[in-house]
């Protein structure tokens, strides 16, 4: 996925059986192994607030690609939760 945009889902799990959020995103790999993610479609006001609460509670999400592969990522933003920077969580198991 070198610099190419692909679709995926960003998921926030409260526990192994309860997902509190599943957000479709367009992701582009960045140098250094991270991703830029854009909510697609853009989140409405309430969804942005909900996502901000989840990020504040724990910025660790599961990034699930179309091919079924998953990786644990840490999400951060600079003022707009529709645009996220994702980085692989150190020590994360790629086969969640």
Tens digits of residue pLDDT in 57-91: 999 999 999 999 999 999 998 889 999 999 998 76
What's the pLDDT at 96? 46
Tens digits of residue pLDDT in 1-11: 556 889 999 99
The answer to whether the CB of 59 falls within 8 A of the CB of 29 is no
The predicted-structure confidence for 42-61, as pLDDT tens digits, reads as follows 999 999 999 999 999 999 99
Nearest to 7 by CA among 33, 30, 37: 37
State the pLDDT at residue 24.
97
Contact 65, 6 (CB under 8 A): yes
Task: For residue 73, give both structure tokens.
Answer: 């990522």
Report pTM: 0.86
């Amino acid at each position: 996925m070198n610099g190419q945009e692909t679709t995926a889902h960003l998921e926030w799990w409260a526990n192994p059986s309860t997902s509190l959020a599943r957000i479709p995103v367009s992701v582009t790999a960045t140098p250094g192994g991270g991703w830029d993610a854009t909510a697609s479609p853009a989140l409405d006001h309430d969804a942005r607030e909900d996502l901000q609460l989840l990020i504040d509670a724990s910025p660790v999400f599961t990034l699930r690609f179309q091919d079924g592969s998953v990786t644990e990522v840490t999400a951060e933003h600079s003022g707009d939760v529709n645009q996220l920077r994702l980085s692989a969580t150190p020590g994360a198991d790629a086969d969640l």
